[in-house]
Amino acid sequence: KGGWVTFYSLGQRCMAEPYQPHLAWKRDPGIERAATHGQEGFSPGACVSPGSGLGRLDLPGGQGHNVGVNAGGGGKVAGGRIAAVEPHSIGHRLGISPGDELLELNGQPVRDLIDYRFLCADHRLQVKVADGSGRTRLVSVAKHPDQPLGLEFAEPTFDGVRACVNACPFCFVDALPPGVRDSLRLKDDDYRLSFLHGNFITLTNLTLDDWQRLRCMRLSPLYVSVHATNPAVRCALLGNERAGEIMADLERLAAYGVEVHAQVVICPGANDGEELHRTLRDLAGLWPSVRSVGVVPVGTTAFTRNRFAAVGPAQARDMLAQVHACQTECRRQLGVGFAYAADELYLKAGQPFPAPEAYDEFPQLENGIGMAALFLRELARERAVSFRRARRPAQLALITGVLARPLLEAAALALGELEGISARVVVAGNAFFGPEVTVAGLLSGKDLAVALSQCRGGETAVIPGQTLREGRFLDDMRLEEVAGPSPVPVLVCAPHPAALFRLAREGGVAS
């Protein structure tokens, strides 16, 4: 029915406009151009129509009662599977249970967490859910627009994850060794996960419906793998002849009011040198829509096909010089650094990390940019405020990858200043991915087991927490499989100075 619709971005009101789905795509030349590439399936799903006006009984605290029960056919009903319901929440009072599936809100299908958060921002809701047998029921509730239903979902997208359609010769997923966790082999390129979790996407698989949804809902910010703004170079790097229109795509997002954080994965001989200069210049021209650019070196493993040469010290210094020159110009013209180099480049180049202030608001922190500067700042703070004596003596062996050795050695030196504590670094090589992979987060259980065998009697080994997910390492080994045969006690610790100092103050005992 159209009308004025308020849209929400991560729970905050950001836009209101009259939505006319039958006209919107005709007004957008970018969507018209997308149609010429055969991107079918435009269906205006972002329009929220008023409910059907079914009877409703308002109860105190946002409660409601069932207004209709429909015996389903018993088949699988598509929807968002509910993993948990917060006690005493609206969802709990409505009788919604873990294992149920959320199908519709106010008559609109719920495809993902974005739909869920947006559609929940209403003062009257009609909620359609299905139980495990497929039996559906419709409940109605009156509530404050900001009041959540209290539902947690098994997955952020309810209709699957959009897969990557590119064929990047440097794809890290294609270079995974046999035996990794199955979840690591998923090559997602889903704009919804970019908005919700900061995953990087390429924009090459967006449909007409996707562009329309981005326009209407202003899903911002998005994280985009640009790599190069030269059309020919980007097409080659992505292995996709449709990848060359990145500047037009970014300009379209700018017109929609969508902000972007970009990354450039440097593949020596392909997009460095003059190509990197062009890319940084072009992207800076789109500021403030493009808020930042992260420059990171390509990651290769022993299983990488069409191998690019790894970035060496001299190349790392050249890249840093380009990034720093761009930062100087951008600070003069834009007031921000705009382009930021990966911590890995400073380590490869043997250059000191910039001060934390150089990273502005750390827009690329989860991309490994600025973590080292924060680590060193936190380390200095802990040294200044920490108690000087541990509760009990301990000898700590800090296990890490090759790349982070300088940072952990600084931490070990600081920990050794505590009375009763000695600490040293044990560097673990990466036999699972190959010696080219030097980051601690990609150490496997087998790699850590080898490092544990190098620990000395009386030591307590400390392994980095980022090597584990749900108790398993990248090679699917469980923590107990690694710690059990270890000659020394094993603790898992977050890779932050505060966590390391807390562990040391407890005398090498998990607190």
Dump pLDDT digits (tens) for 163-177.
Answer: 999 999 888 887 777
Whether 181 shows a pLDDT value over 60: the answer reads yes
Whether 229 shows a pLDDT value over 50: the answer reads yes
Range(s) within the chain of domains with CATH label 3.40.50: 376-505
pLDDT of residue 313: 94
Which range is least confidently modeled, 129-133, 267-271, 299-303, 398-402?
Answer: 299-303
Tell me whether strands 108-109 and 101-105 are parallel, antiparallel or unpaired: antiparallel
Rounded to an integer, what distance in angstroms lies between the CA atom of residue 258 and that of residue 263? 16
- H or E segment at 90? helix 90-93
Which range is least confidently modeled, 48-62, 217-231, 388-402, 407-421?
Answer: 48-62
Mean pLDDT of the 126-152 span:
93
Range(s) within the chain of domains with CATH label 2.30.42.10: 51-159
Mean pLDDT of the 8-30 span:
34
Fold of 376-505: Rossmann fold (3.40.50)
pLDDT of residue 26: 34
Tell me the per-residue pLDDT of 298-343, one tens digit each, with 9 for 90 and over: 987 777 776 678 899 999 999 999 999 999 999 999 999 999 999 9
Which positions ≥6 away from 390 have C-beta within 8 Å?
418, 419, 420, 421, 504, 505, 506, 507
Q: Which two tokens stand for residue 500?
A: 């390391």
pLDDT-derived band at 61 (thresholds 50, 70, 90) equals very low
Mean pLDDT of the 364-373 span:
95
Q: Which two tokens stand for residue 444?
A: 């496997």
Q: Which two tokens stand for residue 131?
A: 């139980």
pLDDT of residue 55: 28
Provide the CB-side half-sphere exposure for 377 (13 A, CA).
11
pLDDT of residue 175: 75
Range(s) within the chain of domains with CATH label 3.80.30: 182-369
Q: How many CB atoms lie within 10 A of CB 486?
A: 16
pLDDT of residue 510: 54
> Is the N-terminal amide bond of 221 cis, ω within 30° of 0?
yes
pLDDT of residue 303: 74
The sign one gets for the Cα dihedral 296, 297, 302, 305 is positive
The sign one gets for the Cα dihedral 218, 290, 300, 269 is positive
pLDDT-derived band at 51 (thresholds 50, 70, 90) equals very low
Q: Torsion-angle region of residue 173: left (phi > 0), alpha (psi -120 to 50) or beta?
A: alpha
Rounded to an integer, what distance in angstroms lies between the CA atom of residue 462 and that of residue 421? 14
Whether 418 shows a pLDDT value over 70: the answer reads yes
Which residue, 448, 508, 458, is CA-closest to 478? Answer: 448
Tell me the per-residue pLDDT of 239-251, one tens digit each, with 9 for 90 and over: 999 999 999 999 9
pLDDT of residue 53: 27
User: Which residue bears the tokens 């435009």?
Assistant: 42
Q: Torsion-angle region of residue 58: left (phi > 0), alpha (psi -120 to 50) or beta?
A: beta
pLDDT of residue 293: 99
Identify the residue with better confidence: 274 or 68: 274
Rounded to an integer, what distance in angstroms lies between the CA atom of residue 152 and that of residue 84? 5
pLDDT-derived band at 66 (thresholds 50, 70, 90) equals very low
Name the class of domain 182-369: alpha beta
Which residue, 235, 173, 229, is CA-closest to 204? Answer: 235
pLDDT of residue 434: 87
Name the class of domain 51-159: mainly beta
In total, the chain counts a number of residues equal to 511
Rounded to an integer, what distance in angstroms lies between the CA atom of residue 70 and that of residue 127? 13
For residue 418, what is the DSSP state?
S
Q: Rank 133-137, 253-257, 296-300 by mean pLDDT and report only the highest.
A: 253-257
Rounded to an integer, what distance in angstroms lies between the CA atom of residue 452 and that of residue 398? 10
Identify the residue with better confidence: 310 or 481: 481
Question: 278 to each of 169, 200, 293, 507, how far by Cα in Å?
Answer: 22, 21, 13, 53
Mean pLDDT of the 367-384 span:
94
